[in-house]
Structure 1
């Protein structure tokens, strides 16, 4: 009788282990960002936590898709380089979808439209658009489409920075003549120094931001696209645009 009970208990234990092993584990991914792009990603000075449009969007998307996130804060250029080697699973940092980047990484569906615009000091009346940048010193963050577009303009003296906050600081201090940056990013920095800085001309490129994914993980890309579609449908993305982008 005791032996029979022991066998039954052993079988139950083995069944329990097998059932546990069959349960789907939560998906945990390393999400890289460059928290120097307000209002998209920044570090809250009070809490020291990551915050911003992209951060809240990714957190909301992950909740819908059943993805557990581990955030990594790193510079923009090494972030893209690391993602191309799959050191990170995902990157979100106001990343413009380009054909060159598609060679090294996968992209989600676009989540916001953004193009390049020129920012100057309010006292500057010489610069009115890309055609008036010849002979001017123009700042942009290293590895961004702002730097790429600046290089296309003949006669521009490009100065690259590790982060856009440094570029806009130099602009405010008169160290450079202009900054080329994504329109929403430019608005965020100008909102912090609206007495000195402004944009000129129109957005002169047609670009979209996407969430970049390791090119070996198409399954994760599908989950991200499904989560993104869900938060677009339930109005979350629109609420985040109103919270972070409207009135910047």
Structure 2
């Protein structure tokens, strides 16, 4: 009886703590926030084949942030290569596309605190047997990466796997991340580098099609991006902290990410 009572008291205290934290969040009084993404980075943001609507981890997270801050999220689309500049110029209030927080980008836009930490891995076709890691890939001049210019995936391929030459012909540049994965599927390229979260999504959505080889090639933090000196940074950060504290972010991970080790 005492054990049951203790558990009930603990559960009540946890609920009270989460409720108090939510109540302490800023109230944006119904403000409309223009959010932009690309819809090409499964499972963070992509198009539902059945409805044609944008879905994914980042959609769910940002919509939840809007609810917690009493704000209306209005979704817009942009290509990756134009997104950071468009947010910088104030065309959109907040952007997301699995964007790695780094010093160079921080000179152009403001970042939220990290909402996710991930690592880069080599995604390959399930029947791949010509290489087993980054070293054996680099040693074979017949092997090619598919990558989207200007992304973390591209720079890791250039500087962490190949020879540091950004014009290396062993990297096939494609317009979208999804196009890189399609090129891998069709055999036009031999590997695509991607963060672990996205790799899980593609493996889960395509059973028997892909696998991971080798170990992690670096750790990266993802953040939402804002127009410089935006007054939304602090409220969004507060909402992210509350979602970490009450388990919401972990629940989204379980919903959207497939563990390729199982």
Q: Same fold (TM over 0.5)?
A: yes
Q: Which residue is 1:200 aligned to?
A: 213
CA drift of 1:156 comes to: 6.6
Give yes or no for contact 1:138–1:156 (8 Å, CA) kept in 2. no
In the alignment, the residues of structure 2 paired with residue 38 and residue 122 of structure 1 have an alpha-carbon distance, to the nearest angstrom, of 18
SS of 1:230's equivalent in the other structure is helix
DSSP 3-state at the match of 1:119: strand
Indicate which of 241, 244, 248 corresponds to 2:256. 244
Gaps of 5+ in 2: 1-27
**Does structure 1 residue 111 correspond to structure 2 residue 89?**
no
Distance 1:128 1:102 in 2: 35
Deviations 1:82-128 (A, max 9, x none): 11222211001111111111111111111111111111122222322
Counterpart residue number, 1:186: 199
Instruction: Find the counterpart in structure 2 of residue 231 from structure 1.
Output: 243
Counterpart in 2 of 1:140?
147
Q: Pick closer, same or farther for the CA change 1:123–1:44 going to 2, 3 Å.
A: closer
Q: Is the 8 A contact 1:65 1:226 kept in 2?
A: no
SS at match of 1:132: helix
Give the distance between the partners of 2:127 and 2:169, measured in 1 at CA. Answer: 20
Q: CA deviation at 1:141?
A: 2.1
Counterpart of 1:124 (choices 102, 125, 128) is 128
Range that drifts further, 189-198 or 205-214: 189-198
**1:158 aligned onto 2:171:** yes
Indicate if the aligned counterparts of 1:165 and 1:189 stay in contact, CA closer than 8 A.
Answer: no
What TM-score do the two structures reach when normalised by structure 2? 0.80
- 1: CA distance, partners of 2:71 / 2:93: 12
**Bigger CA radius of gyration:** 1
- Cα distance per residue 1:141-200 (max 9 Å; x no partner): 232100111121216711122222211111121111111111211221222333232110
Matched, 1:74 2:78: yes
For residues 10-59 of structure 1, give each alpha carbon's deviation from its aligned partner in whole angstroms, at most 9, with x where no partner exists.
xxxxxxxxxxxxxx853212111011111111122223222111100010
- Name the residue aligned to 1:53: 57
d(CA) in 2 for partners of 1:46, 1:122: 26
Conservation of the 8 A alpha-carbon contact between 1:37 and 1:165: yes
* TM-score (normalizing by structure 1): 0.84
Partner of 2:30: 26
Structure 2 counterpart of 1:174: 187
Please provide the CA RMSD for this pair: 1.8
**Residue equivalent to 2:227:** 214
The aligned length equals: 224
Asked if the contact 1:150–1:156 (Cα under 8 Å) also holds between the matched residues in 2, the reply is no
